[in-house]
Amino acid sequence: MFALVPGIALAGLLSAISLFLSSRLALGVSPLIFAIVLGLLLGNLLPMLAQGDRQSGLEFCKKRLLRIGVAFYGINITLQQIADVGQAALLVDFIMLASTLVIAYLLGRRWLGLDVPTSLLVGSGSAICGAAAIMATEPVVRARPQQTTVAVGTVVLFGTLAMFLYPLLYPLLGLSPQAMGIYTGATIHEVAQVVAAGSAMGADIAQVSVIAKLTRVMMLAPFLLLLGAWLSRTQGSSAIRAPLPWFAFGFIAIVILNSVLSLPSVLVDNIKVLDSWALTMAMAALGLGTQLAGVKSVGWKPLILAACLFVHLTVTGLVVTHLATAWLS
């Protein structure tokens, strides 16, 4: 147990810095993004930091702590919130999530010739909840650190672009505040980016967009379960079976528990803080263990895939939102 301390302490230090920067700069950038950037910088400037007595602790953060963090991410969502946002948000969320994942796999594999893990990581980050979804998908698809880092990079680029673009486009789109909130929550990558974009357009849009986004996050658990089952079936009996994503069951259990029980607000707030620490530490550990030379070997194709998915989310998402809100209003 004591062998884990040096690596965990290093990841914890980077996590503290990342959380501080995220809260102080108020740019709508998730602490997960700061953590992987800091980890990449330190891990490549001082590669010995991720070696020796720190390696086992960093591996613990990337694997065990990550899975725990994903499971407890469900504390951010209740079934009541999902019900409050209405059928239109559920419909738009589901259509955009499913279509984005299918397009990511087909374009990535058949057109760009990417491997399955990279295609699915970029797809999950675009379709569900950015870096958190990528980190949750990584153990299921058995991705390499370089593949995961590249996928996170696409979330940073196109999620940030959407965060600034949507408030500029809002007056031109012909959407009501409710519909704009649904569109924002269903198509922007990161929760923090949704909060920033929604707040820039008004409090009413911000509230709807966050609930629509959290509803989309709720779909992470069934996605992981279906993905694990699909990979196990398609790999064949001679291949390594995809691991059972137990943390997806934990995610669902936490959502249900948070919905049916009146948990003290202090407890919920503390769990959210600890969960944010866990996920940020996992991202810092990932960055520390990733060498940029390996990232370069992945090439530009993931970026092209992410760009195509960004266009799909913004254009198709707008059409779907118009149709869904008109049909279910």
**Do 82 and 34 contact (CB within 8 A), yes or no?**
no
Identity of the residue numbered 105: Y
Structure tokens at 13: 């230090």
Please state the rounded mean pLDDT for residues 281-286.
Answer: 86
Query: What per-residue confidence (pLDDT) applies to 296?
Result: 67
d(CA 254, CA 258): 6
Number of Cβ within 10 Å of residue 58's Cβ equals 29
Which pair of structure tokens corresponds to residue 305? Answer: 């895939």
* pLDDT higher than threshold 50 for residue 52: yes
Percent above pLDDT 90 for the chain:
35
3-state secondary structure the chain: CHHHHHHHHHHHHHHHHHHHHHHHHCCCCCHHHHHHHHHHHHHHHCHHHHCHHHHHHHHHHHHHHHHHHHHHHHHHCCHHHHHHHCHHHHHHHHHHHHHHHHHHHHHHHHHCCCCHHHHHHHHHHHHHHCHHHHHHHHHHHCCCHHHHHHHHHHHHHHHHHHHHHHHHHHHHCCCCHHHHHHHHHHHCCCHHHHHHHHHHHCHHHHHHHHHHHHHHHHCHHHHHHHHHHHHHHHHCCCCCCCCCCHHHHHHHHHHHHHHHCCCCHHHHHHHHHHHHHHHHHHHHHHHHCCCHHHHHHHCCHHHHHHHHHHHHHHHHHHHHHHHHHHHHC
**Mean pLDDT score of the chain, rounded to an integer?**
86
Question: How many angstroms separate the first and last alpha carbons of the chain?
Answer: 56
Q: Count the Cβ atoms, other than its own, within 10 Å of residue 105.
A: 17
Backbone angles phi, psi at 179, to 5 degrees: -65, -35
Report the alpha-carbon distance of residue 280 to residue 15 in Å, rounded. 5
State the pLDDT at residue 327. Answer: 87
Tens digit of each residue's pLDDT (9 = 90 or more) over 211-242: 888 888 888 888 988 998 888 787 654 444 44
C-alpha–C-alpha distance, residues 75 and 83, integer Å: 16
Res 297: pLDDT: 64
Residue 239 is predicted with a pLDDT of 41
Using CA atoms, how far apart are residues 37 and 21, in angstroms rounded to an integer? 12
pLDDT score at 126: 95
Q: What is the pLDDT of residue 279?
A: 86
Among the listed residues 218, 193, 212, 288, the one whose alpha carbon sits nearest the alpha carbon of residue 70: 218
pLDDT of 244 higher than 60: no
Q: Residue range 180-185: average pLDDT?
A: 95
Rounded Cα–Cα distance for residues 65 and 44 (Å):
23
pLDDT tens per residue across span 122-180: 999 999 988 888 988 988 888 888 898 889 888 878 888 898 899 999 999 999 999 99
